[in-house]
Copies of this chain bind each other. A is one copy, B any other.
């Protein structure tokens, strides 16, 4: 099951023997908070099964920022990297199977990884990709209407539409559940 992790961090087998023990497999129920907003994150997660929602607080309401699924890594990046309080909460949506690693161990892996050209390339690529992803996400809020964002989601990440309760999707799109309903019904009626 760490196969996917190996493709993300392409160390050789010898090194993986050392690192494998850093990761612990845990089972968590739905709606379990993994990292709380305001807390300094000391852990990172890799999802074997299930999904995780990243959200933040807006006047008492929770607003979804991102979803993560199988074979993805999740952490409160800025908190994890910089030892500052997290601006987001990480919470499971479904009962999930996760691999968890402590910051200390992860830092070790990162330090080692940046010494090895192949791993380094991969890590840098990942950072750039994340950058591009956030950039495009921003851009879609400036450029596209909620309806366009919904359609785009349908095309590019149908599993979100299928697996995630609609009120989470609505806040992810930056609108209310009521308006998402309207958008969907407008689309059904042939636009």
B139 in contact with A56 (CB, 8 Å): yes
**Chain B residues with CB below 8 A from A136, complex form:** 87
B141 in contact with A131 (CB, 8 Å): no
A120 and B128 contact, Cβ closer than 8 Å, known pairs A56-B143, A141-B141, A141-B174: no
Give the top 8 A-B pairs by smallest Cβ distance, nearest first: A134-B134, A141-B141, A127-B127, A78-B132, A138-B138, A142-B174, A58-B143, A81-B128
State in angstroms the CA–CA spacing of A120 and B142 once bound together: 33
State in angstroms the CA–CA spacing of A124 and B139 once bound together: 24
B134 in contact with A138 (CB, 8 Å): yes
Nearest to A128 among chain B residues (CB) is B81
A77 in contact with B134 (CB, 8 Å): no
Most buried by B among A132, A136, A174: A132
The residues of A with any CB-CB pair to B shorter than 8 Å are: 56, 58, 63, 65, 77-78, 81-82, 87, 114, 120, 124, 127-128, 130-132, 134-139, 141-143, 171, 174
State in angstroms the CA–CA spacing of A8 and B151 once bound together: 41
Query: Does more than half of chain A's interface fall in helix, strand or loop, or is it mixed?
Result: helix
State in angstroms the CA–CA spacing of A141 and B174 once bound together: 8
**Chain B residues with CB below 8 A from A63, complex form:** 142-143
**Chain B residues with CB below 8 A from A114, complex form:** 114, 120, 124
**Chain B residues with CB below 8 A from A87, complex form:** 136, 139
**Chain B residues with CB below 8 A from A131, complex form:** 77-78, 127, 130-131, 134
Interchain Cβ contacts under 8 Å between A and B, 24 examples: A56-B143, A65-B139, A77-B128, A77-B131, A77-B135, A78-B131, A78-B132, A78-B135, A81-B128, A82-B128, A87-B139, A114-B114, A114-B120, A124-B127, A127-B127, A127-B128, A127-B131, A130-B131, A134-B135, A134-B137, A141-B141, A141-B142, A141-B174, A142-B174
